[in-house]
A and B are shown apart, each in its own frame.
Chain A
Amino acid sequence: MNILAIDTSTYVMGVAILRDGIPAGEMRTHLKKNHSIRLMPAIRALFEEVDMKPAELDRIVVSEGPGSYTGVRIGVTTAKTMAWALNRPVIGVSSMEMLAQNGRYFNGVISPFYDARRGQVFTGLYRSMSNGIIRESEDRITLHDGWLKALKEQGEPVLCVSPDMEKHKELIQQELGDLAIIGTEIDALPSPLELARIGMRKDVVTTAHEFSPNYLRLAEAEAKWLEKIKDEKKR
């Protein structure tokens, strides 16, 4: 199976191609630069490097969120439009599931996360099993300190992986103490090859038309509007 995988859910930009299910190439940067400008040149360059044409693809895999709204939209828009134009399926993979792969040989639970501002994180809970990484608890947006307290109560070692580690390291060590395992800065980065690998095994569940990001959070204006409606109903 020939696969293109795209991840722009954080400042990390990742593009990978599998040929016949085997990694052919990847391009990954960890720079705080504009995805909108750099994604398509990276995709084109990688296709040229691995000597493949878009029409040879069998599917396109993309990190569907959670993450930066704009970042996720750039990846998803690119993936779904290419998929529609080529008449191939597009597969969405949770950005948390993608990042959790970095703990494949970890004995304990894995908590991948992205910073979501105001003390919040996008996170989820995963565990490495003989058949791969399985999800133990749904992806969510939550206050990081409360989440860490709950993890501490489980009493198991937790591998924390995140490209936003710097901002959260102190809190993690404070809340989890000895249970906290913090990977290197390389382990902390989502890998587009892992994304491709997960996407290769998933079933096709939506058409390109139906496919949209999983933001895990309403737009602020919509959340406020729903609150207002709820208040008015109470009165």
Chain B
Amino acid sequence: MSEKDTLIVGIETSCDETAVAVVKNGREILSNVVSSQIESHKRFGGVVPEIASRHHVEQVTVIIEAAMTEADVTFAEVDAIAVTEGPGLVGALLVGVNAAKALAFAVDKPLIGVHHIAGHIYANHIVEELTFPLLTLVVSGGHTELVYMEEHGSYEVIGETRDDAVGEAYDKVARTIGLPYPGGPHIDRLAAEGEPVITFPRSWLEPGSYDFSFSGLKSSVINTLHNAKQRGESWTNEQIAASFQASVIEVLVGKTMGAAKEKQVKRVLLAGGVAANKGLRAALTKACEAEGLRLTIPPLKLCTDNAAMIAAAGTVKWKQGRFADDRLNGHSGLELN
């Protein structure tokens, strides 16, 4: 390794994945280990915070070791330990934060606190170097946001959901039509096989707003199915999935394009777990092509929660000298700024 290389260890425990990664120069993944607890939470139909926290404690050193071994580096070569400080499940965050602090103290390295959404955005930096100004559509089980960036490490949230996150809406609709948790991938698969024959509402909110709202759409799906049943009509799950997804995607893509135009960006990023959705990928790709915007979408492994993205975002803070101290804490509702 050359003298100027930066080696950052990332730790992420904000929800139900215990993840640790080692990233070189903010872009090159040396290791990216993710231990998912999803099999444990499936029986409850969603993530149970206390159980997530328990799993994180059991897994955390195992995963740190796996990431260090796979990267084949020692702590002597590492520049800093970066960790997700929020937002997320507070009990889950606490495990990662306290492990990171203990590790930083034991091996005498600086500590960096990273915002989870900054991490999702920087997953794109691993794929293709970021250029500014840019706009990111962040879509996941916990988030739906449009984030504008003028330079590295600077974030302006220009729109966010007022109720459910898009991933939450997917899971709820999936449950309504009897699909297992997590429902997002099932809806996406079914939607590809059906036609959007039902017109569900598009929630544009007031003109000029880049905020989102999905709770009305979710209720509309439930009511429509209920009424159809009473009238003895029925739609296939494929048709329902396709119609629901068409409404979601039209709004997500429409608002992204509107914001891109207003902010005059040349670059759009897609980030978060729902970025794995094929329907959304296709629609956003088409819209960006039509407008001449450069679009980056990370591969699946970097869309879902992982620690390489935390190390990548942490590298920016390392370069800017923005370190945390021993008082670093987990914050469930941390603001992005």
Query: Which residues of A line the B interface, CB within 8 A?
Result: 34, 36-41, 43-44, 54, 69-70, 73-74, 76-82, 84-86, 208-209, 212-213, 215, 219-222, 225
Known: A70-B94, A85-B106. A212 touches B57 (CB 8 A): yes
Q: Is the CB of B101 within 8 A of A78?
A: yes
Min CB–CB distance B111 → chain A (angstroms): 9
Q: Is the CB of A84 within 8 A of B64?
A: yes
A-B contacts besides A84-B65, A212-B58, 16 pairs, CB < 8 Å: A36-B329, A37-B329, A40-B326, A41-B326, A69-B53, A73-B54, A73-B94, A77-B98, A77-B99, A80-B60, A81-B102, A84-B61, A85-B103, A221-B44, A221-B48, A221-B50
Q: Is the CB of B105 within 8 A of A40?
A: yes
Question: 26 A-B Cβ contacts within 8 A?
Answer: A36-B97, A36-B98, A36-B330, A37-B329, A40-B327, A54-B105, A69-B91, A70-B53, A73-B54, A73-B91, A73-B98, A74-B94, A77-B57, A77-B60, A77-B94, A78-B101, A81-B102, A81-B106, A86-B106, A212-B58, A220-B50, A221-B44, A221-B50, A221-B51, A222-B48, A222-B51
Measured between beta carbons, the chain B residues less than 8 angstroms from A212 are: 54, 57-58
Measured between beta carbons, the chain B residues less than 8 angstroms from A54 are: 105-106, 108
Q: Is the CB of B50 within 8 A of A82?
A: no
Question: A74 vs B93: C-alpha distance in the bound complex, in angstroms?
Answer: 11
Min CB–CB distance A2 → chain B (angstroms): 14
Q: Is the CB of A82 within 8 A of B105?
A: yes
Measured between beta carbons, the chain B residues less than 8 angstroms from A77 are: 57, 60, 94-95, 98-99, 102
Question: A101 vs B106: C-alpha distance in the bound complex, in angstroms?
Answer: 30
Q: Is the CB of A82 within 8 A of B329?
A: no
Interface magnitude class on chain B:
20 to 34
Which of A38, A43, A78, A208 counts the most B-chain CB atoms under 10 A from its CB?
A78
Contact with A along B55-75 (1 / 0, CB 8 A): 001101110110000000001
Question: A205 vs B330: C-alpha distance in the bound complex, in angstroms?
Answer: 31
Measured between beta carbons, the chain B residues less than 8 angstroms from A41 are: 325-327
Question: A213 vs B108: C-alpha distance in the bound complex, in angstroms?
Answer: 26
Q: B98: which of A81, A215, A219 is its contact (CB, 8 Å)?
A: A81
Known: A41-B326, A54-B105, A209-B62. A81 touches B99 (CB 8 A): yes
Q: Which residue of A lies closest to B44 (CB)?
A: A221
What is the interface of chain A mostly: helix, strand, loop, or mixed? helix
Q: Is the CB of A43 within 8 A of B105?
A: yes
Min CB–CB distance A176 → chain B (angstroms): 34
Measured between beta carbons, the chain B residues less than 8 angstroms from A70 are: 53, 91, 94
The 6 closest A-B pairs by CB, nearest first: A85-B106, A81-B102, A40-B326, A219-B50, A84-B61, A221-B48
Min CB–CB distance B56 → chain A (angstroms): 8
Measured between beta carbons, the chain A residues less than 8 angstroms from B75 are: 85
Question: A82 vs B50: C-alpha distance in the bound complex, in angstroms?
Answer: 23
Q: Which residue of B lies closest to A76 (CB)?
A: B57
Min CB–CB distance A15 → chain B (angstroms): 12
B158: CB under 8 A from chain A? Answer: no
Q: Which residue of B lies closest to A222 (CB)?
A: B51
B4: CB under 8 A from chain A? Answer: no
Known: A43-B105, A44-B105. A78 touches B51 (CB 8 A): no
